[in-house]
């Protein structure tokens, strides 16, 4: 399903959404975990961005599998795909739960909400780590051999 669009593979197109939106979600998750008033003001935006990031991670994984069926499997990179999807999904669930609970208890955060805020910081760290590792392994698989066998200035620019 997610093989090509206008004769280009989906994967390198959609991964850019993941590598931008997931770290933004991680930053937002940490900020709203630290400040309840920020969660009340901006929490919905963090929930929305994390939902799009989680969805994009699913599409990136599926499109990566389609691309791998055409060009071969970069083993290390492919192994990271499920972890990015899992961590993005858990981050979405965590920020959504905290945002929802903050709406229920406007006066102050309960102990459960404080624990959930700490869990969200841990989930954000995990999601950030997985997306960085996946991105690095993917870039290494694609660009490593090219850069290794070329030198700067080989092709004229401009």
Q: For 66-118, what is each residue's pLDDT tens digit?
A: 999 989 889 999 999 999 999 999 999 999 999 999 988 877 889 999 999 99
- The whole-angstrom separation of Cα 142 and Cα 74 is 9
How confident is the model at residue 156, as a pLDDT? 80
Residue in 11, 22, 13 with CA at minimum distance from that of residue 126:
22
CB 97 within 8 A of CB 47: no
> 108, 56 in Cβ contact below 8 A?
no
Higher local confidence (pLDDT), 32 or 108: 32
Q: Is 90 left (phi over 0), alpha (psi -120 to 50) or beta?
A: alpha
% of the chain with per-residue pLDDT over 70? 100
The pLDDT-based confidence of 119 (bands split at 50, 70, 90) is very high
pLDDT of residue 105: 83
49 pLDDT band, cuts 50/70/90, is very high
């Amino acid at each position: 399903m997610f093989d090509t669009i206008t004769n280009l593979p989906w994967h390198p197109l959609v991964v850019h959404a993941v590598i931008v939106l997931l770290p933004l979600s991680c930053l937002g998750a940490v900020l709203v975990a630290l400040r309840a008033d920020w969660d009340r003001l901006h929490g919905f935006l963090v929930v929305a961005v994390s939902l799009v990031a989680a969805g994009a991670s699913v599409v990136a994984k599926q499109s990566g599998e389609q691309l791998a069926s055409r060009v071969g499997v970069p083993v290390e990179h492919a192994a990271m795909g499920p972890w990015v999807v899992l961590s993005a999904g858990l981050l979405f669930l965590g920020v959504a739960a905290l945002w929802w609970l903050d709406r229920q208890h406007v006066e102050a955060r309960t102990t459960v909400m404080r624990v959930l805020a700490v869990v969200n910081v841990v989930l954000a760290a995990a999601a950030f780590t997985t997306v960085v590792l996946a991105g690095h392994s993917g870039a290494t698989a694609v660009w490593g051999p090219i850069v290794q066998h070329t030198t700067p200035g080989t092709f004229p620019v401009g």
